[in-house]
């Protein structure tokens, strides 16, 4: 599977959010990559669901800015 990624936001504690687009399916997701010390696993969520849940957070605002370009 071929995917394109673009960085959305990195928090002060090292968590990262990345926009992942699969050109074959046309599907776009937001991948949250927790920092190493949290020991968490990366989670992917549909862009629309992410914006509904986190649209006013710094990472949500950064995604809205990225999508408006």
pLDDT tens digits, residue range 7-62?
Answer: 999 999 999 999 999 888 888 999 999 998 887 899 999 999 999 999 899 999 99
What backbone torsions phi and psi does residue 60 show, to the nearest 5 degrees? -70, -45
pTM metric for this prediction:
0.86
Where helices occur in the chain by DSSP H, the ranges are: 47-54, 58-68
- Give pLDDT, residue 43: 94
CA–CA distances in Å: residue 52 to residues 24, 38, 49, 57, 60: 25, 25, 5, 11, 9
* 45, β-bridge pairs: 30
- Give pLDDT, residue 2: 62
């Amino acid at each position: 599977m071929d995917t394109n990624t673009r960085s959305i936001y990195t928090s002060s504690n090292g968590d990262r959010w990345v926009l992942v687009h699969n050109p074959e399916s046309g599907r776009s997701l937001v991948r949250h990559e927790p920092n190493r010390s949290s020991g968490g696993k990366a989670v992917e969520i549909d862009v629309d669901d992410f914006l509904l849940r986190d649209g006013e957070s710094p990472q949500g605002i950064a995604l809205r800015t990225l999508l408006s370009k």
